[in-house]
Structure 1
Amino acid sequence: MTVKFEYVGVDISETLNAFTTERLHKLSDRYEFLISAMVRFKKDEKSHDKGKICDIELSLPGPRIFATSDEKQYEVAVRETIRDLERQLKKRKETYSTR
């Protein structure tokens, strides 16, 4: 699975890239039909308590899957986003297996 990163108003972080890539590869090991992931990191200046946003869009057969989270730290946002994606992937895998 290929992983692409986009930073919007945030400095590029190789550590964050490695952390996110590792998490996504674990996901692709479980769901072999994943093709690619687009990861976007943004900062919301208006939010005082959170504001670190992670968007992930997964490309796979059928419609794409998207999730986002807004947390105090990017690592937490990545974990939450991947948790949401995993829920969606479980549902998608169930629909594949029932056909």
Structure 2
Amino acid sequence: MDAGAIQDHIEYLQFELKRPLLVMKAPKGILGCGYINVETCNKTGEVCAIVTGVNTFDDMRKAKVVAASNQAAELGIAVGDTGESALNKMR
């Protein structure tokens, strides 16, 4: 998937830094890479799940969630879920 694309209600965002900053934005929240801070999401009331060690959007879908905001937990998103599973719960 190309950065900036929207498919199946998921917006794909990528910023080139030393490692890519990747975000997949769903209607109810975001799946983000390790650059995103889950504690900030908790403070702002955002639904977010974090995956690490990813370089592509496909990697994000396959990776395991390593952190989830309190609001994400309310949607049933948990550490150990796949990114794909987390995204499905954010639709």
Q: Same fold (TM over 0.5)?
A: no
Which of the pair is proportionally richer in strand?
A: 1
TM norm structure 1: 0.37
Structure index of larger Rg: 1
TM norm structure 2: 0.39
Which of the pair is proportionally richer in helix?
A: 1
